[in-house]
Amino acid sequence: MDKSDYKKGVLYIILSAFCFALMNLFIRLTGDVPTMQKCFFRNLFALFIAVFTLWRAGIPFRPGKGNIKYLVIRSLSGGLGMMCNFYAVDHMAISDASMLNKLSPFFAVVFSAWILKEKANRYEWGAVITAFIGMLFVVKPSFSLEALPAFAGVAGGLGAGIAYAFVRKLGMRGENSMIVVAFFSGFTTLMLTPNIILNYSPMTARQWIFLILTGLAAAGGQIGITSAYSKAPAKEISVYDFSIVIFAAVLGFIFLGQIPDWLSVIGYVIIITTAAVKWYFTVKAPSEKTG
């Protein structure tokens, strides 16, 4: 892999993490707007931005031959994952919700082995298991309804992991990253349209402003993550995606007064350390031997 592509992938994924942390903050600041309504407008605004970007670049919306089925699967899994993530952000600390959503790289390892035939080694499989142990500290599973947002957060990470595996596949097939973003935004907007027609809830000017900011931040995050995984394999750059937890924790403390409990912090440390170790044994160590 070209070193410049690797550096671009790292930069894109860190910028994406910051944008998604902002998105989670804006979701929370929107207030008591129904979750599905937030999802609808997040994708509608992101769709406008993606279509405008394609138009400015003079790129026709013409997916590559044979890519439609992969775009649909990417959009369906990513859309369901997004809904679960929005629900989690609405009902728990945004740093916790962000961390659970960022289990997606570990899910991506699992699904990349199946979808892309990118074989994971023992360190990667060990990392997946250890990450799930860390997840338990954040979720703090119980049989009460209070655990529902945490499980929704895990489901969001699962959906995102499947989606990113297909983003990588589309990138390998030469699909334009902005077409992937536009298709996803359009698909999910259409998917949520019946709900918005039947269950629309009036919003204040303040809520509209934060929803627009949510859409802008989401578009930035989506463009960044799509560009990142188009430049480099998930296993080589996904460790940098965990910077979202730092961004979310800082934003949550400054604007919402949220402080993660000690069990969540232990979970963060386990998952982030696991990601770093996985990255070292699958990327850094082999490159040192060959270098």
Model pLDDT for residues 166-195, shown as the tens digit of each residue: 888 888 888 988 899 899 999 999 999 999
Greater confidence (36 vs 229) lies with 36
241 pLDDT exceeds 70?
yes
Q: What is the pTM of this model?
A: 0.81
291 pLDDT exceeds 90?
no
- Band of residue 208 on the pLDDT scale cut at 50, 70, 90: very high
81 pLDDT exceeds 70?
yes
* Range name among 32-36, 102-106, 114-118, 221-225 with the lowest pLDDT average: 114-118
Question: Domain coordinates of the chain in residue numbers?
Answer: 3-290
What's the rounded Cα separation, in Å, for the pair 146 and 253? 22
- The pLDDT value recorded for residue 50 is 85
Residue 138 in contact with residue 264, Cβ under 8 Å? Answer: yes
Where does residue 140 fall: left (phi above 0), alpha (psi -120 to 50 degrees), or beta otherwise?
left
Residue 47 in contact with residue 146, Cβ under 8 Å? Answer: no
206 pLDDT exceeds 90?
yes
What's the rounded Cα separation, in Å, for the pair 83 and 156? 7
Eight-class DSSP state of 64:
P
1 pLDDT exceeds 60?
no
Task: Return the number of other C-beta atoms located less than 10 Å from residue 68's C-beta.
Answer: 11
- Band of residue 56 on the pLDDT scale cut at 50, 70, 90: very high
Residue 26 in contact with residue 215, Cβ under 8 Å? Answer: no
- The pLDDT value recorded for residue 39 is 93
61 pLDDT exceeds 80?
yes
Identify which of 213, 182, 184 has the alpha carbon closest to the alpha carbon of residue 79.
184
- Band of residue 6 on the pLDDT scale cut at 50, 70, 90: confident
239 pLDDT exceeds 70?
yes
Mean pLDDT estimate for the chain: 85
Residue 10 in contact with residue 237, Cβ under 8 Å? Answer: yes
What's the rounded Cα separation, in Å, for the pair 142 and 176? 43
30 pLDDT exceeds 90?
yes
What's the rounded Cα separation, in Å, for the pair 45 and 213? 9
What's the rounded Cα separation, in Å, for the pair 222 and 201? 26
Model pLDDT for residues 98-156, shown as the tens digit of each residue: 888 877 767 777 777 676 666 666 777 777 788 778 877 887 766 566 778 888 988 99
What's the rounded Cα separation, in Å, for the pair 257 and 47? 32
Residue 95 in contact with residue 269, Cβ under 8 Å? Answer: no
- Band of residue 37 on the pLDDT scale cut at 50, 70, 90: very high
Mean pLDDT of 282-291: 60
